[in-house]
Amino acid sequence: MIRTHLRRTWRRLPEFRLLALGLALELLWEVAQFPLYDVWHQNDWGYILYALAHCTLGDLLILLVAYEIVAAVRHDRVWYRHSPLAGAALFTLLGVLYTFGSEIYNVRIEQSWGYTELMPVLPVLGVGGVPFLQWLLIPPVLVWLLWLLGDMGRAPDAGH
């Protein structure tokens, strides 16, 4: 009985739904932007696939942490239902801020990766424009998708 209840409930948790939707969007984005990074051109296919998985899973972790920060600030795990605009703004801002820090650290300081000449670079900041765009677009799209799904996935205890 408990096992059946858990099986039915976990799929309806907002975090699971965020990650399920986010996986598709983040993976597609990573595949599309990968040729803009030097890792695409300097390594074998095994490493490229590893890097793609690593980056996609990292994106999902960023999404999850940002989502939980918004939930803590709003005191509401399903904030996308009750205050989608304010929540989406903070959710997006957190992703953008993390991206700036990560790109500066990994490209300039650690030199873990670099850009090809095809990557548009934001003036003054010197970070890639495409990862910046990723975190400007994907978080609000995810909030919109979660909002659209509405009560279809509501878990009985997923509220405040």
Q: What is the pLDDT of residues 110-147, one digit of tens each?
A: 998 899 999 999 998 889 999 999 999 999 999 999 99
pLDDT, position 10: 66
pLDDT, position 11: 67
CA 55 to chain centre: 10
Categorize the per-residue pLDDT at 7 as very low, low, confident or very high, splitting at 50, 70 and 90: low
- Long-range pairs, 70-78, Cβ under 8 A, ≥24: 70/94, 75/160, 76/159, 76/160, 77/14, 77/15, 77/158, 77/159, 77/160, 78/14, 78/154, 78/158, 78/159
Contact 78, 159 (CB under 8 A): yes
Tokens of 92: 């997006």
Which pTM does this prediction carry?
A: 0.86
pLDDT at residue 160 is higher than 60: no
pLDDT digits (tens, 9 = 90+) for 54-67: 999 999 999 999 99
